[in-house]
Amino acid sequence: MPESFQLIISLLDSTIRIATPLIFCAMAGIFSERSGIIDIGLEGKMLLSAFVAATATFLTGSPILGLFAAILASCGASFIHGFACITNRGDQVISGLAINILASGLTITLGIALFSRGGQTPPLASEQRFMPIEFPFLDEMSYVPVLGDLFVEVISGHNILVYLSVLAVFFTYYVIFKTRFGLRLRAVGEKPEAVDTAGISVIKLRYQSILIAGMLCGLAGAYLSIAHGAGFGREMSAGKGYIALAAMIFGKWNPIPTLFACLLFGFLEALGVRLEGVELMWIGEVPVQVMQALPYVLTVVLLAGFIGKARAPGAIGVPYSKEG
């Protein structure tokens, strides 16, 4: 295999690993924002559930239980968000930011209190994590040129959550565009009055949507600490929630384009890691911060002119009130 091909293969492989939490979070964002609730708290929910996943797994020894605990914790945060801005009609951005700040402080405080490791959780053994799954026929496939390598190196050999994230995209697409629930969810995000006067509860519908968002964020968090990583580290979400948000806007609140946006951002990050300390022709060594900033810069630039206007759901950010 030529070296450049090898490089591309390994770049694609890390793209997928990096994109997985973005995909979960972006789908969570779609559910929430399509129903009219801004979800800037993706980051906090992911961080919180990463911590809970690692802690619960360490304490019980079971990653499955850890995963459920993570989902529960993330849904709890979603519920707080909902109570603040659906029930009490608070400001959705403020509430989301509060969740982010809460998660950032709480995970460190609890981590130190429980494990006295400076905010980290103890490392998990491999049987306590979701480990890579090897596909059958790997040996046979490895003889097939190009496609075989893609199959062996890129498609196969990820943990179950990676595959689940792809399923999550199709799940999101199907639910939002093909079911009654999805029709109502989109309606409530565009024009809640229409839903209310059709005899459907706006509040119930929005709670349902953000709880689904909570579940998906829980999966993202669990991926970070008990699948991709082997334990929780302080601030391990590192802005992925915001990148996911950018990907969602980039993908115009549509699951399939959003998936590609997540993959693109994942690829840029993988590229950034790869280019660290590498001398490039004409340019020289690119500071790592430039690569890290790329997804944001790209979002702004592309949204500003190249992909046309991204139209947010009509009623996003506006608390619903019947009496004016």
Partner 1 sequence: MKNIENKEGSETIESLPSSTKLAIELKNITKRFGHVVANSDVNLKVSTGTIHGIVGENGAGKSTLMNILFGLYKPDSGMIFLNGQAVDVNSPEKSIALGIGMVHQHFMLVPTFTVLENAMLGNEGSMFLQSGEEFALDRLRGLSENYGLDVDFEAIISETPVGMQQRVEILKALNRGAKILILDEPTGVLTPQETIGLFDILRSLREQGVTIVLITHKLKEIMSITDTVSVMRGGKVVANFSTEKTSPEELAENMVGRKVLLSIKKPTLKVGNPVLEVKNVSHESKDGVNVLKDISFDLRQGEILGIAGVAGNGQSELLDILSGIETLQRGQITVNDKTILPYQDWNSKKAREFGVAHVPEDRHKRGLVLPFYNYENSILGYHRNEEYSSGFLMDKRKIFNFVDDLVENFDVRPRSSSISSSKLSGGNQQKLVLAREIESNPKILLVGQPTRGVDIGAIERIYEDLMKLKSKGTAILLVSVELDEIMSLSDRIIVMNQGSIVGETNSSDATELDLGKMMSGLEKV
Compute CA distances 114 → 49, 69, 162, 226, 243, whole Å: 16, 16, 29, 18, 30
Among 6, 60, 87, 179, binds partner 1 (CB under 8 A): 179
Which residues ranging from 265 to 294 are in contact with partner 1 (CB under 8 A)?
none
Nearest to 207 by CA among 180, 228, 181, 225: 181
What whole-number distance in Å separates Cα of residue 26 and Cα of residue 54? 22
Nearest to 16 by CA among 176, 171, 227, 214: 227
- By beta-carbon proximity to partner 1, the closer residue of 5 and 204 is 204
Among 79, 171, 181, 260, binds partner 1 (CB under 8 A): 181
Number of amino acids touching partner 1 (CB under 8 A): 25
CB of residue 201 vs partner 1: minimum separation in angstroms? 8
Residue 186 interacting with partner 1 (CB under 8 A): yes
What whole-number distance in Å separates Cα of residue 236 and Cα of residue 231? 10
Residue 178 interacting with partner 1 (CB under 8 A): yes
Among 134, 177, 276, 300, binds partner 1 (CB under 8 A): 177
What whole-number distance in Å separates Cα of residue 214 and Cα of residue 227? 19
Among 184, 206, 228, 240, binds partner 1 (CB under 8 A): 184
CB of residue 16 vs partner 1: minimum separation in angstroms? 31
Tell me the window of 34-42, 89-97, 185-193, 243-251 that interacts with partner 1 (CB under 8 A): 185-193
Residue 201 interacting with partner 1 (CB under 8 A): yes
Alpha helices in 61-150 (DSSP H): 63-82, 92-115, 138-141, 147-149
Residue 314 interacting with partner 1 (CB under 8 A): yes
List, in sequence order, every residue forming a beta bridge with 192; answer none if it has no partner: none
Instruction: Map tokens 């399939």 to a residue.
Output: 256
> Is the separation of the CB atoms in 222 and 229 below 8 Å?
no
CB of residue 21 vs partner 1: minimum separation in angstroms? 30
Residue 193 interacting with partner 1 (CB under 8 A): yes
CB of residue 177 vs partner 1: minimum separation in angstroms? 8
User: Where on the chain is the footprint of partner 1 (CB under 8 A)?
Assistant: 177-184, 186-187, 190-191, 193-201, 314, 322-324
